[in-house]
C-alpha cells in the first residue's frame, strides 16, 4: 500500500466535495465524535503518515465509498465516482434482517455490524457471495429447526 497514493485519494475526495481541511475536520468530529485535527488531515493527504483504520472508516462512511478505494494501489483517485456508485448500489441496500426473536435483538445488531465491517474490505463480487452465504445459512437453520421438531 502506497501512503502517498492513499493521501492523494483522501485529498481528491475532499476537493471533490469542495471541503477545506477545517470543514472536513468539523464534519468528522461533529458527525462521528472523532478527534481529527487539521494537521492530521494534512499529514495523511501529503503522505507523511498512513491513516489509521479507524479514521479511514470515517472517510468511507462520510464519502460513501469502500475503504478498498483508498487502500488499493490499483485504483486511481479518479476512480472515486465509480466506486461511490458501487457502494451506494450494494453496501447501503444490503438487508441482513434475520429474525432471532425479541430476546436476540442485540445479538442480531452485533452480527450485522460485524458483517458490515467485514464487507467494507471485500470487493463487490465478495459482497454478493457473503450475502448469498448468509441467506443460505438462514435456510439451513430453519431446516434444522423443522427437522428437530419432528423428532
Mean pLDDT (10-residue bins), the chain, 151 residues: 91 96 95 94 94 89 88 87 82 53 53 63 62 68 54 51
Q: Which residues of 88-101 are buried (b: 16+ CB within 10 A; e: fewer)?
A: eebbeebebeeeee
Joined together, the cell numbers standing for residue 1 give: 500500500
Question: What's 35's domain CATH number?
Answer: 1.10.260.40
What pTM was computed for the model?
0.62
Range of the domain at 48: 1-73
One domain for residues 118 and 147? yes
Task: Tell me, yes or no, whether 88 lies in a domain.
Answer: no
One domain for residues 9 and 61? yes
Report the pLDDT value the prediction gives residue 142, as an integer from 0 to 100. Answer: 57
What is the number of domains present in the chain? 2
One domain for residues 54 and 20? yes
One domain for residues 66 and 11? yes
Report the pLDDT value the prediction gives residue 53, as an integer from 0 to 100. Answer: 86
Task: Tell me, yes or no, whether 100 lies in a domain.
Answer: yes
Report the pLDDT value the prediction gives residue 98, as an integer from 0 to 100. Answer: 47
Amino acid at each position: 500500500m502506497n501512503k502517498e497514493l492513499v493521501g492523494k485519494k483522501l485529498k481528491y475526495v475532499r476537493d471533490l466535495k469542495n471541503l477545506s481541511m477545517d470543514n472536513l475536520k468539523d464534519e468528522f468530529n461533529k458527525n462521528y465524535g472523532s478527534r481529527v485535527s487539521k494537521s492530521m488531515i494534512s499529514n495523511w493527504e501529503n503522505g507523511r503518515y498512513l491513516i489509521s483504520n479507524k479514521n479511514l472508516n470515517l472517510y468511507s462512511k462520510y464519502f460513501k465509498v469502500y475503504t478498498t478505494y483508498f487502500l488499493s494501489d490499483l485504483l486511481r483517485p479518479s476512480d472515486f465516482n465509480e466506486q461511490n456508485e458501487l457502494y451506494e448500489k450494494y453496501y447501503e441496500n444490503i438487508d441482513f434482517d434475520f429474525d432471532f426473536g425479541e430476546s436476540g435483538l442485540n445479538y442480531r445488531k452485533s452480527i450485522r455490524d460485524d458483517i458490515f465491517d467485514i464487507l467494507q474490505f471485500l470487493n463487490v463480487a465478495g459482497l454478493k457471495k457473503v450475502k448469498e452465504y448468509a441467506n443460505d445459512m438462514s435456510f439451513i437453520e430453519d431446516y434444522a429447526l423443522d427437522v428437530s421438531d419432528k423428532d
